[in-house]
Structure 1
Amino acid sequence: MLFKNIAILDENLNMRENCFVETKEDRITYIGDRHPGGGEREYDGRGRLLMSGFYNAHGHSPMSLMRGYGENMVLQDWLSKKIFPFEDKLDGESVYWGTMLSLAESMRFGIVSTSDMYYFCEDMARAVADSGMKANISRSVVNPSGEAPEKLESFKEMKDLYREFHGSCQGRIKIDMSLHAEYTSDRRTAEALADYAGGIDTVMHVHVSETELEHKQCLERHGMTPAAYLEDTGLFNLPAIAAHCVYSTEEDLEIFRRRGVTVAANPVSNMKLASGVCNAAAILEKGINLAIGTDSVASNNSLNFMEEMKVLAIGNKGFLKDPRALTAGDAVRAATEGGARAQRRDGCGALKEGGKADLIVVDISGANMHPVHNILNNLVYSCSGGEIEMTMSDGKVLYEKGNYRTIDIEKTIYQAEKATKKILERL
């Protein structure tokens, strides 16, 4: 495809106008001021901005079936009275359609890849394969009873998932490892997972210090914070994504910096559940890779990444009482390059020649996008998400102006509603 007469947000997050950008197969092959010649399809980009797609660093896609189910509740009540009973009734088919619904919403809002932690992961992988999207999928390991790790069904499923799907669909699907959290497993399980993951090409995905209670109880159990405990088990000996980190201490941030751990902030979900605010400004100041996650639709209630960037920025400004705490550029970089780095997707997260053609087109012609003193400020503070009119992954258009190229959206919505009603009838 050849994008012509289009503004771009380049790899340095600078806006360049009236550009030509060509993609061939899965790569960006040309960026310049002149028509390169050729091109199977030309896209007139007047009034449009071409930029990297977004990389969601923490999600639970099948939980789209729980959108709006259980509101205005304390976290533990929300989980025990609403979420866990609903999840207990899930099966592979419902997980497939819940995942597909999230994938459709993701591409609508410019997300090209998600780090997804859940179960029934084969069905999740099937949905990702069918959709044309990218995903880093992990089977979340939990072991509250202290059973021998090698006997855990989740541990076996995780290994089988890696063997069958890692690197499949031309690398679109990656299989990560996941310890759900410190508080849902014992030390032996964490150490066994670290040992196994250390011998393969993967990323560790784990919840860390999401709530004050989690953080406090870990200190009582182990005399260490969740981050210190997880480092002690060896989980941070490999590339890792630490999700949430709302109550991470200065010492925890030093662990993340030293170990090269990515912090995935989940601004909307954490504020909606009243968990708190991740200090993203302190994370960046430490030189830690910062990414953004949506968490689940059950706690968010959308996958609007424009909204995530805005709440990340203004949340930190308000939390720290400092308007300089986090810039719009910081938020955009976390949503693009930061997420791609977290997922270990080389050549992704920036618009540059030779890079992957994971791109979105944003309509910047509307009244809310003018004047343009600084395009980054407009993207983060003025966009609603509805301005995204195209999402492309590996050079393939997935979504364009309300049309889903790879998903039967009417069937997906119908099947998701059907699965939800079936579960509710069994509760």
Structure 2
Amino acid sequence: MLFKEITILDENFNIKENMYVGVRGDRIVYVSNQMPEEDFGEVRNGKGRLLMPGFVNGHAHAPMGLMRGYGENMALQDWLFKKIFPFEDKLTSEGVYYATLLSMAECMRFGIVSTSEMYYFMDEMAAAVTESGMKSNLSRSISHFDDSDFMSSYRAKEMIEAYEKYNGAAEGRIIIDMSLHSEYTSTPESARQLAEYTKSIGARMQVHVSETKKEHEECKEKYNMTPVKYLNSLGIFDTPSTAAHCVWIEEDDRDILKEKGVSICVNPISNLKLASGICDIPKLLDKGINITIGTDSAASNNCLDFMEEIKMFALLPKLVTGDPTVITPKQALMAATVNGAMAQGRTDCGCIKEGNKADLIMLNTDVPWMHPKHDLLGNIVYAARGSDVVMTMVDGRVLYENGVYKTLDIEKVIYETEKATKEILAEI
């Protein structure tokens, strides 16, 4: 496929006009301002379009699409323990499968090409991701409340089985990470065992960190350490890790996260909706920490429109610092794309570059809110909408285009998700 005379966001995240981008197989093989001599087959006219790397959703819980709108206007701890956990106790494999497909459909509609998922029902999630054509770093979320041996638990067995069955599956589109749900849902020994196992197999780690002030302060009272220091003392960050939220971390925590090479996934809208707080992004940038963007779940966010998330990521630090110059459009777009790919361990993804995977999205810029184009980077971050995405491609395969889901029967997915939700509610 050849994109002809199209505006692109290049590998340095600068705008270039009248470019030619050739895709062969799953790779970008040609990027130039000159028409290629070789034949790439189908030609796409780039008039009024922008080609850019697809978004990477750095922290998500896809099956929680079943809980969209369930448990509104509640504090995080009440929301979890009074609504979400009781609902999740009734989940079925079929419900998780269709909810994951629903979330994958929503992701591709809004230009997300890859997600980092923390949940369970790994067989069903892997099947849904494979069917959808999306990419995902899947992890079996671990909670362990008692003093029993974690590695003998059914959770550990499911985690190990998922890694052995699915790591590298779907032609490499699926990567299996390990995942500690959080400090407050595990014991020190279970966290230590998980850290040791993760390091022994060379896997990556996902973990919730300091999402709320209550969580942060209670950890300090319990262990005389912040959650970051506590998790680091147990070896959680001894492998490449993504720490989600990090709203209440302290200066020493940032030093540890930088030293350990931990990526931080900021979830602006979820944190606002649950009144968890606002992550201090400028201080993370000052430390040189890799920052990514996540939606969290449709239960704590209600929508996976990544354009909304990017805009909020860029705006909130300006309010908090009183400095309108912090967070440039380029920084926000890098957090939404290449930084997320780096956090997932996908080194050949995240930007338009010859040799990289063809994970591309095309935006319609021929709409009123994208004109005039004084600063197209600024327009993408502050003016563009998720509905402006007209094509989503993963590994050179078009998954969504102009209202058509190429890999999914969207009507069936919606029907089955609604059916599963009603069945669960009837049992609660």
Aligned position for 1:381: 382
What is the CA-CA distance between 1:150 and the residue it aligns to?
A: 1.9
Cα displacement string for residues 141-160 of structure 1 (whole angstroms, at most 9, x for unaligned residues): 11112221122111111000
- For structure 2, the residue ranges without an aligned partner over 5 or more in a row are none
Output the CA distance in 1 between the equivalents of 2:147 and 2:376. Answer: 52
Residue identity opposite 1:280 in structure 2: I
Cα displacement string for residues 310-366 of structure 1 (whole angstroms, at most 9, x for unaligned residues): 001111111222212211111100000110000000210101111110000011111
Output the CA distance in 1 between the equivalents of 2:105 and 2:13. Answer: 27
What is the CA-CA distance between 1:34 and the residue it aligns to?
A: 2.2
- In the alignment, is residue 111 of structure 1 matched against residue 112 of structure 2? yes
Mean alpha-carbon deviation: is it higher for 336-345 or for 79-88?
A: 79-88
- In the alignment, is residue 2 of structure 1 matched against residue 2 of structure 2? yes
- For structure 1, the residue ranges without an aligned partner over 5 or more in a row are none
Aligned position for 1:129: 130
Aligned position for 1:16: 16
Residue identity opposite 1:264 in structure 2: C
Whether the 8 Å CA contact 1:210–1:247 is kept in 2: the answer is yes
Residue identity opposite 1:8 in structure 2: I
Whether the 8 Å CA contact 1:369–1:378 is kept in 2: the answer is yes
Output the CA distance in 2 between the equivalents of 1:66 and 1:88. Answer: 13
Output the CA distance in 2 between the equivalents of 1:92 and 1:45. Answer: 42
Mean alpha-carbon deviation: is it higher for 294-303 or for 369-378?
A: 369-378
> Percent sequence identity over matched residues?
54
Aligned position for 2:412: 411
Residue identity opposite 1:299 in structure 2: S
Aligned position for 1:423: 424
The number of residues matched between the two structures is 427
Aligned position for 1:251: 252
Matches within 5 A, 1:195-274: 195-274=196-275
Output the CA distance in 1 between the equivalents of 2:209 and 2:335. Answer: 18
- In the alignment, is residue 55 of structure 1 matched against residue 56 of structure 2? yes
SS in 2 for 1:299: coil
Residue identity opposite 1:11 in structure 2: E
Whether the 8 Å CA contact 1:58–1:115 is kept in 2: the answer is yes
Moved over 4 A (4+): none
Whether the 8 Å CA contact 1:6–1:18 is kept in 2: the answer is yes
Give the structure-2-normalised TM-score.
Answer: 0.99
Whether the 8 Å CA contact 1:391–1:398 is kept in 2: the answer is yes
Aligned position for 2:178: 177
Residue identity opposite 1:201 in structure 2: G
Residue identity opposite 1:413 in structure 2: I
SS in 1 for 2:254: helix
Whether the 8 Å CA contact 2:361–2:390 is kept in 1: the answer is yes
Cα displacement string for residues 26-47 of structure 1 (whole angstroms, at most 9, x for unaligned residues): 1000011222131221111100
Aligned position for 1:163: 164
Aligned position for 1:45: 46
Residue identity opposite 1:175 in structure 2: I
Q: Cα RMSD over matched residues?
A: 0.8
What is the CA-CA distance between 1:253 and the residue it aligns to?
A: 0.6
Whether the 8 Å CA contact 2:202–2:239 is kept in 1: the answer is no
Cα displacement string for residues 53-88 of structure 1 (whole angstroms, at most 9, x for unaligned residues): 011110000000111111111222212221111111
Mean alpha-carbon deviation: is it higher for 33-42 or for 149-158?
A: 33-42
Output the CA distance in 2 between the equivalents of 1:227 and 1:77. Answer: 23
SS in 1 for 2:387: coil
